[in-house]
Amino acid sequence: MRLKHKIYLYSSVLFAVLLAAACISIYLLFEKMSLEAESRRFETEAELTAERISASAAQTAPDDLLRAYAPADGMLRLVKPDGSSLARPVTASEDAGLSERLSREKYAYTSAHAEERLGSGGDGYIRVSVPIIWPDGEVISMQISRSIADLESRLNVLKTVLVIVALLAMVPAVLASTVLANRIVKPIAALTGTMGDIRRSGRFQQIETGQKPGDELAEMGRTFNEMILLLEANFARQERFVSDASHELKTPLTIIESYASLLKRRGKQRPEVFDEAVDAILSESVRMRELTERLLQLARSPEADSLEFGDLDLARSAAESARAFIRAYGREIEVDAPGSVPVWTDAAKVRQLLFILLDNARKYSEGRITVSASGDGPGGAAVLKVTDRGIGIPESELPKVFDRFYRVDSSRVRSPGAGGAGLGLSLARDLAQALDIRIGIESEVDKGTTVTLIFPREERAREKPTGERLSRRAGEGGGRHET
């Protein structure tokens, strides 16, 4: 059974059960109160009749007394202690059938007040027994039986009204159950339909539930949309990684394969070919390793990339990074940092960013590289600059330098194989966005390039949550690259 039908059936049945319970409770309560009230009235009248009969018993014959005080809708009887009737039972009812049925009813002597409800021929009546001292000193029981046909008629009317009201009330209840079932199932159906569309088309979609905020169904839709965004971003990263890896790894693998083939054919006979091939294979292997590391960094989920902010002396960090780079590559690097430059940021990510910029400068220049750190940026912000004196970049191509796989024209590279994969500045941009750093580039052909990092002011950096940086990075880094 579908969920919609279950909700409709269960809610309707539950409402019907509650309504029936309410109607039955009302009927039973009204019946009990009415019978109690009728019994009290009959008892009062019976006691008054007993007093009158007792007062007149010495002067009037029992048969005459019974005829005088017989109720119009019942029967009067005097019962002796031995269980016999003192006189012939008398009824004043115009209903001969009722009189006959009441006369045939069994009776018994009782010396105390008593009240009981009896049924005769489908009709109900109440019999009240009251003890009387007869003139001869004997205690007899006066029994008055009175019909409650009027009360039963009223109860039947009430029963009919309650049944009709219950049936009429079920109509809006059924309609309400239908509306409720549709309202609950609608966002679930939208969710199911959207997932089916995603499965068939392969395109990620979000749903609009139309529910008010705070509603559980709205929360379900919001969670689903967030999950779709995360899946879309992860899928885009996976697809981008596959396309990037297949695109970029093809060239070094082709080169390695070519030189390996050359080694196999001529390496043993010609030492110069051997040396050239080994150098090329080693160079391309190193390039493949660096390329793979960059691809993995770019493909990694930003949510998994934790940021640990703290106080950092930018000048000291620049000097330490420069010394490490000098030891690794033997390049001349000048650090210009007159004094301490405090910032609030992630030290490890800043160091990674510095290495990317220094490595980019190394690849496209042969002269001295300059790193400067100061606190004279806009509004007193910290500024870090990395300057090389290399081939430079034409002004028309500057807007493209942060695009994935953008590389300077190979004819302008200082030596074959020295150029990068076009991923360094793209990764640098992603890191800068995560750290809320403004990154810019200035370049002049044949004179050099300067990359500028402007850090946020310390109080502003402390106020911005880390989650906001990562979510913004995830949203901006989810695009697809096409080649």
pLDDT of 420-436, one tens digit each? 556 678 778 888 888 89
93 — pLDDT class (breaks 50, 70, 90):
low
Return d(Cα 174, Cα 186) in angstroms, integer: 18
Q: What is the pLDDT of residues 341-371, one digit of tens each?
A: 999 998 888 888 888 898 888 888 888 999 9
At 15, list the tokens: 């409402």
What architecture (CATH level 2) is domain 306-476?
2-Layer Sandwich (3.30)
| Cβ atoms of residues 337 and 319 within 8 Å | yes
Q: If you count them, how many residues does the chain have?
A: 483
More confident residue, 450 or 326: 450
More confident residue, 283 or 177: 177
At 201, list the tokens: 């088309």
More confident residue, 225 or 214: 225
211 — pLDDT class (breaks 50, 70, 90):
low
Q: Which pLDDT score, from 0 to 100, does residue 25 have?
A: 94
Identify the weakest region by mean pLDDT among 33-37, 183-187, 217-221, 296-300: 296-300
Question: DSSP string spanning 231-256?
Answer: HHHHHHHHHHHHHHHHHHHHHHHHHH
Q: What angle do CA 432, 434, 437 make, to 5 degrees?
A: 40
More confident residue, 144 or 467: 144
> Is the predicted pLDDT of residue 455 greater than 90, yes or no?
yes
Calculate the average pLDDT of the chain: 78
Q: Which pLDDT score, from 0 to 100, does residue 371 have?
A: 94
> Is the predicted pLDDT of residue 450 greater than 90, yes or no?
yes
Return d(Cα 146, Cα 126) in angstroms, integer: 5
Q: Which pLDDT score, from 0 to 100, does residue 379 have?
A: 78
Q: Domains of the chain: which residue ranges? A: 3-155, 204-300, 306-476
Q: Which pLDDT score, from 0 to 100, does residue 412 have?
A: 45
Q: Which pLDDT score, from 0 to 100, does residue 248 have?
A: 58
Quote the radius of gyration of the chain (alpha carbons, Å).
51
266 — pLDDT class (breaks 50, 70, 90):
confident
Fold of 204-300: Helix Hairpins (1.10.287)
Tokens 């990074």 found at: 321
452 — pLDDT class (breaks 50, 70, 90):
very high
Roughly what angle, to the nearest 10 degrees, separates helices 424-434 and 466-476?
140
pTM of the model: 0.45
Q: What is the pLDDT of residues 124-146, one digit of tens each?
A: 888 889 898 888 888 888 888 88
Q: CATH number of 3-155: 3.10.28.10, 3.40.50.720, 3.40.1280.10, 3.30.450.20? A: 3.30.450.20
More confident residue, 12 or 215: 12
Q: Which pLDDT score, from 0 to 100, does residue 413 have?
A: 47
305 — pLDDT class (breaks 50, 70, 90):
low
State what percent of residues in the chain have pLDDT above 90. 14
3-state secondary structure of 117: strand
Across the range 207-229, mean pLDDT stands at: 73
